[in-house]
Chains A and B, each alone.
Chain A
């Protein structure tokens, strides 16, 4: 086996298994790298390959380790690990061309496994480069004489030729709903809002740069301080943690619309939970989702693939003016044994106020007047967390304020609940949509007032109005704790990021999000009528056949049409050049005779012209048909100075 071909195959395997190092056990990666290095060393020194029994031993030991490490021989992770190990072990018995062929197919197959874990643009680009390396090795295997550059060119041409086929297959191949292979356990691991909230949970989430969802507004864009994306609503408090509690369906959620509704389209990243995010208050949604009694939009199943939906919301509303007594009772419950001082403060407010709305105003002005600090890194709180926060530390993130506010309300006998979700987002003026990240996670409160229904109150706005108006980075004082990009990055960097996000969004929408629905819509737009699977499949076969036939026709074109000969054109041009210099070629004069005459007349040109004439004759009258030699001839012919 040729040395450089072996290196090519080593590189192919290395590139194709490298991304897996991120999510497989360390010993797998170490073993693979070790085997690759060993193989490279053997090639470098020209030593013989290891004995068969040694390879068997390593193989059996590897499979044993897999069983011990994963406790199974089935599943995605194990399958990928097995493939990786067997591919690297196959390199150890790379002797004949057949082994190289097997390795190349194996490498191509392992490419696919990388898409189990990531389908982003960088991954796709990386794997494209990997494919290029593999195809180049393959070309090398088939034609050992060709040097590297022509090899790369052939590989590139091959990949480009595959492009139309890829396009047809992409557009027409039947789509499967859900993540790849439709295995539920294969859904994306992801972070996001939880169905409970305790001090620190949101501030931790705020450190994440991950995109939660993207929103575009086809018509009207709401004000920034109206962009409250409603997520889980939390009712039950145990003194530290807010939870959703038991779901009790008592009353149909209902709100009166007080303004023109706003339409928007959300592309939600998978988060493995059922809730969908919508602006307060959601009316219609394009999915078969339900609206819970506390206005959460819930999907039928956990969102484990990127999901796109259109929704309509009213920003001004009266929600559930008629509320069930049981819900009111629930919105007043609190653990009486904790936080006595806060309860006392609330009792004072109750005594000094004429109605519930007055108490809300008092509370907000209390937060506003006292020296509260909005920070990502609040001090730890004791068992009476709310007392500590309100009277001692006075430093907190939105969950502290929402939690304390709702506690105070309930203590003052005003029905209240915590709502979590996202606030605001970053406007991408390149793609004209909003990016809502995990760092935009927010918590606020809702109180129930007799003549207004559920009213949103955001205590954070009373302390740090910038959070609502301009975003997180404007609101927190200690910027250092924020992820770099959530601070104020330089404009060019911000533009770069927005550009990339726009691209990623397009990729999500049109490549990854190209599902059955989009496929049918696209084909309808192309003028296809009454689309069925059979029809699409037939079109796909026909399209692929057509492309292959066209390529075949193109490649066999010399059988039908005689191609204008580049070599001859270059030769005739050279003859013209020489004719201008006073040495015209007679029509009947052969290339070599002509060259001999020129060589005699202009000894300076002798070598060059004899060489060119010999090459020309070899091309035109001989069997020489090498593209590389042809390019060289063309270059020399044009370069010749007379």
Chain B
């Protein structure tokens, strides 16, 4: 792993106290070229995480605050008639950035949501018949409030599938919170952060992640997990092949962060909650369980071959 990646992690850990796991998962997601969904209450540091990452990684950053009256054009951009030239000139929307923070994505209407989600899937947008590529590494961190809050349009399962991972921030522990409360204002520190790597370097790292070795034995294990979700009665439906691919690429990135050139089952287990918790739904009596418990059960149910 590169030194600069280490620096990124270190800096993030200094600002977001007591959440090393979340920071690593967020980086994993970025390295695996997926998008990240952070689901939690307001004020637990979702935005801070996104800001820290964009600054330290040296990425061009745009924030889109999703509201119920947000229109697709507010995200993608519009063409405006130029009086002097007599032509329409395209004004790119906030989505044309290397890193997007889509804040409170479930507060927008499905129409606006789909404009973002299609761009996430295709890494390009088509406006008025012209297809425009989005600048790599087009990385979206979306935050959403828990679905039971008022005034939300929960993302449908098909849309959730676009996110490689969903993580939860959770409350900080007592010690971390103490540090947070007694320390300097986070916003000031973030403003002072210097980029730790070039965009080119990040793209190169993403490429190296894809080269992490996956052995037949590990594929056996991943397949066993997928099979379990399809066969066990407690899930409404099993994981899709796309979920399997997502699991693999996330595990690759996790192994890479762990400085290994091959994926081991522990990597899969580490990223499994993030990758599958928003893709799995339990039926009947199990549906009341926390999604973490559900994933924990899944891990324990599948033996490592």
Interface residue ranges, A against B (CB under 8 Å): 562, 586-593, 617-618, 620-623
**CB–CB B261/A590 < 8 A:** no
* Assembled-state Cα–Cα distance A588/B301 (Å): 7
**CB–CB B264/A592 < 8 A:** yes
Closest 4 A-B residue pairs measured CB to CB?
A587-B303, A622-B262, A590-B266, A590-B265
Report chain B residues within 8 Å CB of A587.
303-304
Contact A618/B262 with A588-B304, A590-B269 known, Cβ cut-off 8 Å: yes
Interchain nearest-CB distance for B199 vs A (Å): 30
| 14 A–B contacts from the bound complex (CB under 8 Å) | A562-B216, A587-B303, A588-B301, A590-B264, A590-B269, A592-B264, A592-B266, A593-B266, A593-B269, A620-B217, A621-B265, A622-B215, A623-B215, A623-B261
Report chain A residues within 8 Å CB of B304.
587-590
Report chain A residues within 8 Å CB of B117.
none
**CB–CB A621/B215 < 8 A:** yes
Apart from A590-B265, A622-B262, A623-B213, what 17 extra A-B contacts exist at CB < 8 Å? A586-B300, A588-B303, A588-B304, A590-B269, A591-B264, A591-B266, A592-B264, A592-B266, A593-B269, A617-B262, A618-B262, A620-B215, A621-B262, A621-B263, A621-B265, A622-B215, A623-B215
Which residue of A is nearest B302, CB measured? A588
* Assembled-state Cα–Cα distance A579/B78 (Å): 66
Report chain B residues within 8 Å CB of A621.
213-215, 217-218, 262-265
On chain B, the number of residues with a Cβ less than 8 Å from chain A's Cβ atoms is 20
* Assembled-state Cα–Cα distance A622/B266 (Å): 13
Report chain A residues within 8 Å CB of B214.
621
* Assembled-state Cα–Cα distance A621/B266 (Å): 11
* Assembled-state Cα–Cα distance A581/B303 (Å): 21
Contact A588/B262 with A622-B213, A622-B215 known, Cβ cut-off 8 Å: no
Listed residue (A562, A588, A618, A620) with the most chain B CB atoms within 10 angstroms of its CB: A588
Interchain nearest-CB distance for A94 vs B (Å): 37
In this assembly, does B9 line the interface, its C-beta being within 8 Å of a C-beta of chain A?
Answer: no
In this assembly, does B299 line the interface, its C-beta being within 8 Å of a C-beta of chain A?
Answer: yes
Report chain A residues within 8 Å CB of B217.
620-621
Interface string of B73-101 (1 = CB under 8 A from A): 00000000000000000000000000000
* Assembled-state Cα–Cα distance A570/B271 (Å): 28
Interchain nearest-CB distance for B113 vs A (Å): 36
> Which residues 268-305 in B have Cβ within 8 Å of A in the complex?
269, 299-304
* Assembled-state Cα–Cα distance A622/B261 (Å): 7
**CB–CB A617/B264 < 8 A:** yes
Report chain B residues within 8 Å CB of A562.
216
* Assembled-state Cα–Cα distance A622/B213 (Å): 7
* Assembled-state Cα–Cα distance A591/B264 (Å): 9
Report chain B residues within 8 Å CB of A623.
213, 215, 261-262
* Assembled-state Cα–Cα distance A587/B266 (Å): 13
> Which residues 199-221 in B have Cβ within 8 Å of A in the complex?
213-218
Interchain nearest-CB distance for B107 vs A (Å): 39
Task: Point out the residue from A588, A591, A617 that lies within 8 Å of B299, measured CB to CB.
Answer: A588
Report chain B residues within 8 Å CB of A589.
304
Report chain A residues within 8 Å CB of B213.
621-623
Which residue of A is nearest B215, CB measured? A621
Which residue of A is nearest B212, CB measured? A622
Interchain nearest-CB distance for A72 vs B (Å): 64
Interchain nearest-CB distance for B224 vs A (Å): 10
Listed residue (B261, B266, B269) with the most chain A CB atoms within 10 angstroms of its CB: B266
Which residue of A is nearest B218, CB measured? A621
* Assembled-state Cα–Cα distance A135/B240 (Å): 54
Report chain B residues within 8 Å CB of A591.
264-266
* Assembled-state Cα–Cα distance A592/B261 (Å): 15
